[in-house]
């Protein structure tokens, strides 16, 4: 440990120094007047730059400008300068401590918002004025819950859509709470055909993955039988487009489904009902229904698709997604389990895959590299 590293440890014990490909990074917490401030400092090209200051990002550019004008700075001197700068602002009643303007703006926007929207099932402002929790129902009685956070590093566009359950396109921060919420409602309206289609699938097919479907999941893995399934992935914003389709199962069975699909691809009609069109190109009248008995359902799944390495069906909310192509084996594996198995033996890499021997039959098998 160098003398500088020792001084850093003694003066800033909560700062962690790490070597990077470009230089060094310093991440952690600096205490000023009994208040902890998160800091991320980088050293590259012989310069120190504050990369992220969390709740103090509003002063980041000014700090970087000032330290950029100084020469022969060590990491210790840079952190000392940061500490003194923050302490000076705090002692002089600077913007770091005085957030009354921000709180006043949030409160005024929140009051106007609640006057405008009267049919919300939930609307709550957190005690620290930094989050707004909103729940509402659309015209089909679907519940939608979001969290809007207050970005105090911004001067104007302080409202940020933080948590939501939609396959959503990015919505930029806004200075107006009502406008931001209107953009969210517009997105919900556009996605109505997508919700209808996914709910139809969930109600008529045996869904293997996701185990607990959410609105943000734009795919479904559907049980077909005989250790075979199909993953259907749609464009949530244009449900009329033909979905991506991927079969999983023993090659001798999957080949039949794949041939049917290839024969019917051109029959997809973007003006028709997407669910009907999906069954049509798969060459099916209906999807197999899930057994009414949960015990029978679980036993059938485990008997057909249990991972042959971890001996479970569901691992980290993922089902087995690789099947050995050897028709005398056809063992199922989670890609994570198979990857960890293969890297312990004699394998070769081919592009983004590992190729090795099946743990069960020792024939060739491949899995994607995470």
Give the total number of structural domains in the chain: 4
- Sheet with strand 143-150: strands edge to edge: 122-125, 131-137, 143-150, 159-163
CB 207 within 8 A of CB 199: no
196 and 278 housed in the same domain:
yes
The CB-side HSE value for 364 (13 A sphere, CA atoms) comes to 6
Radius of gyration of the chain (CA): 28
Q: What are phi and psi of 39, to 5 degrees?
A: -135, 140
- Residue 97 burial (10 A CB sphere; 0-12, 13-18, 19+): middle
- Last residue of some domain: 268, 292, 316? 292
283 and 316 housed in the same domain:
no
3-state secondary structure 194-211: HHHHHHHHHHHCCEEECC
35 and 113 housed in the same domain:
no
- CA 130, CA 136: separation in Å to the nearest integer? 20
Residue 95: what pLDDT? 45
Give the CATH number of the domain where residue 224 resides: 3.10.110.20
184 and 212 housed in the same domain:
no
Burial 163-182 (b: 16+ CB within 10 A, else e): ebebbbeebeebeebeebbe
114 and 147 housed in the same domain:
yes
Taking the CB of residue 81, how many other CB atoms lie within 10 A of it?
A: 16
Q: Is residue 299 assigned to a domain? A: no
Residue 304: what pLDDT? 55
238 and 310 housed in the same domain:
no
CB 42 within 8 A of CB 18: no
- Last residue of some domain: 292, 324, 357? 292
- CA 195, CA 236: separation in Å to the nearest integer? 8
* pLDDT tens track, the chain, 370 positions: 788 888 888 899 999 999 988 889 999 998 887 778 889 999 988 889 998 888 788 788 888 888 888 878 889 999 998 888 888 776 665 544 446 778 888 999 999 999 999 889 999 999 889 999 999 999 999 999 999 999 877 768 899 999 999 997 788 999 999 999 999 999 999 999 999 999 999 999 999 888 889 999 999 999 998 778 899 999 999 999 999 999 988 888 899 999 999 999 999 999 999 999 999 999 999 999 887 665 454 455 445 578 889 988 778 878 888 888 888 888 889 999 999 999 988 889 998 999 999 999 999 999 999 8
Query: 350: closest CA among 334, 330, 364, 336?
Result: 364
- CA 46, CA 18: separation in Å to the nearest integer? 16
Q: Is residue 157 assigned to a domain? A: yes
Residue 318: what pLDDT? 80
- Last residue of some domain: 60, 91, 122? 91
CB 45 within 8 A of CB 20: no
18 and 68 housed in the same domain:
yes
Domain hosting 323: range is 306-370
Q: Is residue 298 assigned to a domain? A: no
């Amino acid at each position: 440990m160098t003398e500088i590293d020792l001084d850093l440890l003694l003066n800033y014990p909560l700062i962690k120094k790490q070597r990077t490909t470009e230089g060094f990074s310093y991440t952690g917490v600096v205490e000023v007047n009994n208040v902890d401030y998160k800091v991320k400092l980088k050293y590259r090209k012989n310069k120190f730059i504050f990369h992220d200051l969390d709740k103090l990002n509003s002063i980041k550019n000014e700090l970087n400008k000032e330290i950029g004008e100084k020469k022969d700075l060590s990491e210790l001197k840079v952190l000392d300068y940061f500490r003194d700068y923050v302490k000076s602002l705090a002692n002089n009643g600077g913007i770091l401590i005085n957030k009354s303007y921000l709180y006043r703006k949030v409160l005024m926007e929140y009051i106007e918002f609640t006057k405008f929207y009267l049919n919300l099932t939930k609307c709550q402002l957190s005690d620290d004025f930094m989050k707004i929790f909103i729940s509402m129902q659309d015209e089909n009685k679907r519940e939608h819950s979001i969290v809007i956070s207050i970005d105090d590093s911004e001067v104007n566009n302080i409202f940020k859509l933080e948590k939501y359950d939609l396959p959503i396109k990015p919505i930029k921060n806004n200075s107006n709470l009502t406008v931001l919420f209107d953009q969210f409602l517009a997105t919900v309206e556009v996605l109505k055909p997508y919700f209808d289609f996914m709910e139809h699938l969930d109600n008529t097919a045996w869904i293997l993955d996701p185990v607990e479907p959410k609105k943000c999941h734009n795919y479904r893995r559907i049980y077909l039988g005989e250790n075979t399934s199909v993953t259907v992935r749609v464009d949530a914003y244009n449900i009329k487009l033909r979905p991506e389709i991927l079969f999983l199962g023993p090659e001798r069975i999957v080949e039949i489904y794949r041939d049917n699909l290839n024969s019917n691809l051109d029959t997809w009609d973007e003006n028709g009902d997407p669910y009907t069109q999906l069954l049509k190109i798969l060459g099916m009248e209906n999807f197999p229904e899930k057994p009414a008995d949960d015990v029978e359902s679980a036993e059938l799944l485990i008997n057909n698709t249990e991972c042959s390495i971890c001996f479970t069906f569901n691992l980290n909310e993922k089902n087995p997604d690789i099947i050995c192509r050897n028709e005398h084996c056809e063992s199922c594996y989670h890609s994570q389990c198979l990857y960890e198995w293969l890297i312990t033996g004699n394998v070769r890499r081919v592009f983004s895959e590992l190729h090795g021997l099946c743990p069960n039959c020792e024939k060739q098998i491949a899995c994607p590299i995470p």
